[in-house]
Amino acid sequence: MKGFTLIETIVAITVSSIVFLAVFGFVYYFYRTSGYNLSQMIAVNSARKGVETIVRETREATFSDQGSYLIKNAEDQSFTFYSDIDKDLKIERVRYFLDEYILKKGITESNDNSKYLDENEEIRILSNNIRNLEEPIFTYYDENNNEVEDLQVVTNIRMIQIKLIVNTDPNRPPGEFTLVSNAQLRNLRYE
């Protein structure tokens, strides 16, 4: 008689189950690791594009439609300035700020009276997974490249450093990825 005995069948099922579980475990680990790496790569790329946008728009900062100085407000986690970001010959008020782990951009168009109303601010998400809760996003420098200590005197600011710390999961390696760039203000009027 040809065929399998009960013991041979149980051994074959056990060996097949062990091989299946090993393959499944490997595939699960691979997708889990690759998924995290992919999400970290997407977050870093989004932050990189965000930094490029901030630098480009900050360099083009200009005086408001009302004639206000080109920087409205300078803080560690928030920066507000005026710029014609959509090239419509009207100056918008632009605000970059961190809301928990999300870097956001607020845009306020001036109305017919050249006034900027806070309730008209349009909020856009620039980047997720930003971990700058303890470190400043924006650092400001004067004409001698010294850090500006008194941020109430925005007329001393000549350059802004943008630093974003990106991490989709702080409890897993590879850890934080830091992006740093500088934006020199170009449209200053010297008297």
Give, for all 191 residues of the chain, the pLDDT tens digit: 577 788 888 988 999 999 999 998 888 887 776 777 788 888 999 999 999 999 999 999 999 888 889 999 999 999 999 999 988 888 999 999 999 999 999 999 887 666 788 888 999 999 999 999 889 999 999 999 999 999 999 999 999 999 999 998 888 777 789 999 999 998 775 54
The verdict on whether omega for the bond into residue 174 sits within 30 degrees of 0, i.e. cis, is yes
**Residue 152 φ/ψ, nearest 5 degrees:** -75, -25
State pTM to two decimals: 0.79
Which residues form the domain of 127? 30-184
Q: Are 106 and 126 in contact (CB under 8 A)?
A: no
Q: Which residue has the tokens 């009207």?
A: 90
Q: Which residue has the tokens 């005086």?
A: 63
Number of domains in the chain: 1
List all residues 6 or more positions away from 102 whose beta carbon is below 8 Å from its beta carbon.
125, 127, 128, 130
